[in-house]
Structures are given as structure tokens and as C-alpha cells.
Structure 1
Amino acid sequence: MSEPTAAICMLAVGKPGYALAAREALTSFLRHTDFEIYVTADSAVAPFLPQSPRIHLNLISLSAPEHRSSYFRAKFDALVWCLDQTSAAIILQVDVDAVLLRPLGAAEMVAALGDRRIGMVEQTGISGSEMRGDDFFEHYRSQSLAFIDASAEPPPRHAFHYFNSGVVLAYRDEMRRFLDWADERQRVLPADHMAGAYMLGDQAYFQVWANTVAPDSCRALPWQWNHCSHWDAGFPRKDALIAHFSNFRNGPEFETVMAMHALVGNGPTDPELEQTSTGQDAELAFIIITYNSSRVIGYCLDALANRKHEIIVIDNASTDGTLDHVTREGVTIIRNTRNEGFAAAANRAAAATSAVHLCFLNPDCLMTPAAVEAALSTLRQRPDAMVVPDYVDWHGNPTAGRQPGYSRLKLTADILDNNGMAKLARRLRRLPGYDLESWSWPLAAALFVRRDTFHAVGGFDERYFCYMEDVAIGFEMSRRGLEIIRLGHVLPHFGQHGADIPSSGRVRLIDAARLKFARLHYGRTLATALAAMHWVLLRRLAIKGAWRRQRRRGMGSR
């Protein structure tokens, strides 16, 4: 009898955290299995997923759903689509924040299920909560079962299992039975799935199926199948099979994705997709300037792995072990003995490559193959332009890569905003002339340019230590009649994770750069006025700070 086939099913929709978590999860399953993988994703997530012929993509739209329950119902729809696409005998449904830690074959799945048709791991607790078995049973009886099927009887307490649906292993016929039943129940239940103040999700359906509808079909899988940070002590344990970074519906945080990436490690997902150098000059060189960027630089470089492009990291005398994450095959390292700032370091790296095109990439920005190809295609047609994508931050907030020109009003508002006068700054932003449409500048978290064009405009202005050098190069491009082109691609930019600089130090650097831009491009009169305003604002903040400290000391002495 031949070994049964298996397939992976995953839903990846929503904020960038889900996209990047799915990237890690998919990489782990590509590396440790030979299964076909069926991913349902939206257009915001799809560009960041790994490329492999084994990944089958189902694009959906969940923009502004009426109810939060739409997200868990999309998981059921993803499972239906997966079953319709594959004839595999076994389906492994995994959440996007779960990574496979070692090789897995269909035979191990069969052994785990034994004589049962569906299996899940029993959740033993909730991190930060005292809820345990009796509490879970009461929640099941009074909430989940009462909502989904009030006419059904709960199992005896000793037979109840509080299963977690982050990992579900099932034969296809049992999964189809479950989905048909879940669909019937959803048709007669309130769409918002609110049981009082609590929203029931997919886990409630799986629990009702396993405990009440078909208890003889379900097996409690060993903990290794769903080793979860949400309830397991000693997470992550090395003998686990699947490590699950449960987010409790809040979306994976930045630290979660970094932890997932650390477990997955670097290396090719599919060997047949690995690209090697041709021995010729690279068409594109990625230039990454680091300064105490140890938290993110490894992740940034891993996203560039297995490509034919040149990678240059120039480090501004980091002291946090950044170079430990940079030293790897295929990466050229330039070590500065002191912090030269962004502009000087970028220019030095650009002079060290013979690549036709350059991409100045922040260490906290994640590149995608689609963005690279689109940028190169654009520059081949417009060699005198600069090309920049749009960005999205961790919370899903978008930022345009091509920004309108800096006006005197904008310089004033930004300095006010940085120094405790946000309300006044907001009023100034509503005034006409705040943004200058006569020229634009590239937000240079991922700036593509032909090397000859970059040198022709003088590179980045080294009079700026950090910040505003991209505004200045945009001004110079405009002065020469050259264009900043906005790509139709969006990249995740984590923002303020690229360099370990205290927020107060960051504010000082930004203010100094804006005052310098005012002096160089708008004259001494404006620069002097802004500098005086800046001094007054700093004195105001210092006085307020001293008053608050004195008040706290006075309250403490009572």
C-alpha cells in the first residue's frame, strides 16, 4: 500500500505582521517537507511570500470587512479551496505564526492520527491567566457550545479537551465533513459571532466538532505538534515539531517575527530556485548602511539571499554586534572606524562597486523580488531617473515613497511637531503651500538609481550627517530636470528599528538636518528664524521637564 499524500493549508491576510510571519512559516515548510502548499492571501500579503512552484496562491479581498469574524471564516474558505485544489489524503492546517522545526513526512502524520480522523493539541492554559481545565470547560459549555448549537449536550468533564486550532491535522474526508457542518451552522448564526463581549472564532467550531459532534473521530495530538508560546513553559523547546507563536488575534509583533526567523534560520527554501553568481559584474548592488542594526540586519540580508545581485554592507562603527550578523558568503563588508553618517557612508559604498544600478536599502526595510524587477525594468527605460517604492509600517499604515517638496512651512511645522507643539504643527499642515508640488524627493529606505546618474548628481550631500540627505538629492534631481518615479510596489519598512539610537538623539539629528536644509536651500534669514524658534522650544521643554521633576519630588515627600 502506497504512502498517503499530504498538503499544507494556510491563511495569510491582514497587516504586514501576518505577511512576514507567513513568510517564515512557509519557508520552514518548504525546507522540511516535499508537500504542496495552498495559501489563501490578500494582495497586501502576497508580494512578501516565498517563491516556489509548490506554493499555490488563492488571492482574496478582505478590505474593510463588516465583522472581525470575517477573518476566521476566511480560514474555513481557505480550507474548502485547498480541498478543491488537491487530492492529498491528509491536510495539515497551520496558522501563519507556526514554523516547522524538523523534517516531516506523511507517514508521521498517519502515525500521529492513529485510528482517528482529525487531531489537535490540547491547550493547557493561557499565558498571564489563571484559567485552567475547569475554566475552559465552563467557557466551552456556556459560550462556545451555547452559541454554536444550544441544543447539543456538552461532554462529561473528564472527556472534554480544550483543543487549539492553530495546528489541525485531518484526513480530507473528515475535514470536508467538518467544513460542511460549520457552513450549515454559520448560515443560521449571527454574522458577528459575538457571544456577549467575546467573539467566537474558528477554534470554537473545531472544539464543538471534536467534543460534541464527532468526539470519536478526534485524537489529542502530542504537545510537539503545537508547542505554543501562549501556554507552554520553556518555549521554544528543541524537541518540538511545530513552534506556534500564538498572537491571540492581535497579529504577530515585530519581535515575534524576528523570533520565528531565528528558529527557521537562513538558507534556500527550494534548491532549484537558488541563484548563483555568473562571474560577471552585477547589474544591481544593494548598499546597506548599518549602525547598531543587529536586531534587523540579518533579516534584511536573508531576504536578499540566493540572488545574483551584489550586496555591500558599510558599517558605521557599530558596537552592538551588527557585524556578527553581516559576515556571510556573498556580502562585501566595509568597516568604518567611526560613525561617518549616512550620506558619507553611502557615497563610499557606491564608489566601491561597478554595478550598473544601485539600491540604497535601509536595514529595517524588506526587499521583494517583484520590486527589484520592476525597478530595474523602469531604470532600463529611464536611466536618468530615480525609482522608489511605497512603504507600509508594522501597523499597516502606508507612506508614499515619492514625497512632495519641502516648503518653508513644512520645515517649520516639522520642528514644532518634534518639540512639543504638535497641535500648532497640525494647523500649519492644513495651510496652502505646505507641500510643494513643483518638485519631489525619494524616501530613501529603498532607493533605486543608475550608478552613473547617482554620481552625476553628486551623490548624497555629505554636509548632512543623518536625515534630509534624501530630500536634498531630490532637490538636486529637480534642479537638473530629472524625475523621481514612484513604483507600483509596497515594501515593509519597520521604521526606527534600523539603528539603535535613543529617541532624543534621533530628534536632535532630525532637527539639525532640517535647520541645515533651511540654511542651504532657503537662505540665512529663514534658517536663523527657525534656529531661534528651535532654541525657544528646547528651553520650554527643559522648563516643563524641571517643573514636572520638582512636582514629583514634592509629591514623594508628602
Structure 2
Amino acid sequence: MSSVTAIVVAFDSAHALPECLGALTAGGVPAIVVDNASTDDSTAIAERHGARVIRNARNEGYGRANNAGARAADSEFILVVNPDVVADRGAAAALLDAARRYPDAAFFAPQIVEPSGRVFFQPRSLLASYLTNPTGKLVLPEGEACAPFFSGACFLIRRDLFLTLGGFDENIFLFYEDDDLCRRVADSGSALIYVPQAVVRHGRGLSSKAKPGLVFKSRWHQAWSRAYVSRKYGLPNPAPGMFAVNAAKTLAAGLSFRRSLIERYGGSAAGALAFLRGQGALRQEGLS
């Protein structure tokens, strides 16, 4: 299946890569692993599984690393795969078959099954206010279907369009980069298609091992990125409200000495405040 190359971004993902890359190999899909300065055996494991490895000197973030992988690929399609995603046999072939059958579409999403057996399907999005599903009720399509947004955990996309659109927005370090990409694909006039016969298993949050401070960092970027894409598409700025609510929750958590909650709410408050002050996500990570 030389017409497709998998792009896997690793960051201390040695625990997840063997199963992820093994499934890709079984499906005949070559892989490029872009390593974001892992401190574990991620690169060695990737090489043992026959993947081409791109080593970043530091953590460049999810979107920037995927863009580097896409530029290095030379196939018609790229298959973006999180390291905690395991594709069922035939999943990549099913996505590629759909791409051949729908030449006017550019983005093809598999059925993502979580460890509980629940199927993940995005029922609403910040960037699609016309989707009238305020409670986020999950209703799965009965077959192949068009939709405006899909998860960035795993998808097939035409490489030329991905690069023409600039790939993932490199101002975003983490979070909402998939919503933003889907919005730009749709705005380009290309369809996004759900392909339920292509099944992948997603570990949900198991791409990297847990580390001290990781929750704070994650929540910082989630808050900042939400404010960033809201501004990008002319939506109301959520940063003031996010800061006020999460600052109050941080103070309350501090009174109870619950460190996990302090880290969670404090990260969200700090990310919102950084956006209000004009600080970028890349500067936060020392990349600007």
C-alpha cells in the first residue's frame, strides 16, 4: 500500500508504539515516526519496527511534528495515527478504498473504538455553531456519511491538499488543531467522510506516560487553544470566562489541599490568562 504513509508522532510513547506500529506493518502501511525528543526508547522501538524516524531536538508539539512527517512522505495519502491507536486489519485499506470511491472528498475518518467499547464520534464542535446538538448526544451514522468534524487521533487525508492548506496550524501546540484542520478542509470545498468499516482502537490519552506537571500543561494548552481558534473564526472570546471560573476553582481546591484539582484548574486559568495577555503557545514552550 505504497500510496499511503502513516505519520505517528511520539513523545515518550515506547509503551504504545509496538502495538501501533505492529498493526500498521500487518496492514502493509509504511510509517514515519516523528519523535518529539522522547526520553524513553521510542526511537529505538520505531526503528526495530521498520519505521523511518525523524528526531526533533525538542518537543515541537503535535501539529508541527505531523507537518514535518507529511512533508517527508512522498505518498498520495497520509494516515495520521496517534501512538495509542491500533488499527484493525484492513482498516487502512478500507479508508483508501473510500478515498478512491469519493474523489471529491479529502478527509476520511475511521470508526474509533475506545477501551470500554464505546464508539467515539464527535457530535458537536466549537467551530460548527450550526450543529444543533447542545448536549452532545451521541448518534452514530448507520453507514458512510459526511460530517464537518472528526477526531485527529486517526484519519486519512490527501497529502497534496493537507500541504496546500498548510497542514495543522503551527501556532497551536496542542488541542483543537483537528477541529481547525477539519474546518479548513470543509472551507476548501472538500468533503469529510466517515468510514465505519475502517475500525481502529484508541487508548484515549495513553500516547505519553504520565509525568508530574503534565495535567497542568495539558489544561494550559486546552484553554489557550480554545481561545485561539475562537478568535481565528470570529467567535466570542471565551478566555475571560475561563479565567474567572477556573481561578475561583483553583482557590477552592487550594483550601482543600487537593493537588490534582489545583493542577487541573490552575492550568486552565493560566492558559486563559496567557491568551488575554497576548502570550502565544509556542512562546510558552520556548519555540517562538
d(CA) in 2 for partners of 1:549 and 1:359? 44
User: What residue is the counterpart of 2:112 in the other structure?
Assistant: 391
Question: SS of 1:549's equivalent?
Answer: coil
Task: Specify whether residues 430 and 377 from structure 1 end up closer, same or farther in structure 2 by C-alpha distance, changes over 3 A only.
Answer: closer
Give the superposition deviation at 1:541: 1.7
- Supply the AA of the counterpart residue of 2:179: V
Question: SS of 1:289's equivalent?
Answer: strand
Task: Specify whether residues 358 and 531 from structure 1 end up closer, same or farther in structure 2 by C-alpha distance, changes over 3 A only.
Answer: same
- Supply the AA of the counterpart residue of 1:390: Q
d(CA) in 2 for partners of 1:498 and 1:520? 28
d(CA) in 1 for partners of 2:40 and 2:240? 36
Aligned 8 A contact 1:439 1:475 in 2: no
User: Matches of residues 26-175 of structure 1 in structure 2 within 5 Å?
Assistant: none
Question: SS of 1:385's equivalent?
Answer: strand
- Say whether residues 1:499 and 2:208 are aligned partners: yes
Give the superposition deviation at 1:375: 0.7
d(CA) in 1 for partners of 2:27 and 2:250? 51
Aligned 8 A contact 2:85 2:153 in 1: yes
User: What residue is the counterpart of 2:102 in the other structure?
Assistant: 382
d(CA) in 1 for partners of 2:92 and 2:73? 18
User: Matches of residues 22-421 of structure 1 in structure 2 within 5 Å?
Assistant: 282-328=2-48, 330-383=50-103, 384-400=105-121, 403-407=123-127
Aligned 8 A contact 2:77 2:159 in 1: yes
> Once superposed, what is the RMSD of the aligned Cα atoms?
2.6
- Supply the AA of the counterpart residue of 2:31: I
- Say whether residues 1:469 and 2:181 are aligned partners: no
- Say whether residues 1:443 and 2:147 are aligned partners: no
Percent identity over paired residues: 24
Q: 2:134 aligns with which of 421, 429, 432?
A: 429
d(CA) in 2 for partners of 1:453 and 1:348? 15
d(CA) in 2 for partners of 1:387 and 1:404? 18
Question: SS of 1:546's equivalent?
Answer: helix
Question: SS of 1:304's equivalent?
Answer: helix
Equivalent residue pairs, number: 243
d(CA) in 1 for partners of 2:119 and 2:36? 29
What are structure 2's unaligned runs of at least 5 residues? 138-145, 259-288
Task: Specify whether residues 403 and 549 from structure 1 end up closer, same or farther in structure 2 by C-alpha distance, changes over 3 A only.
Answer: closer
Question: SS of 2:53's equivalent?
Answer: strand
Aligned 8 A contact 2:82 2:154 in 1: yes
- Supply the AA of the counterpart residue of 2:188: R
Aligned 8 A contact 1:358 1:450 in 2: yes
- Supply the AA of the counterpart residue of 1:380: R
Q: TM-score, normalised by structure 2?
A: 0.77
Question: SS of 1:453's equivalent?
Answer: helix
Question: SS of 2:149's equivalent?
Answer: strand
d(CA) in 2 for partners of 1:430 and 1:302? 38
- Supply the AA of the counterpart residue of 1:512: W
Q: TM-score, normalised by structure 1?
A: 0.41
Greater relative contact order (Cα < 8 A, sep 6+):
2
Structure with larger Rg:
1
Give the superposition deviation at 1:329: 5.0
Give the superposition deviation at 1:408: 8.1
d(CA) in 2 for partners of 1:431 and 1:496? 20
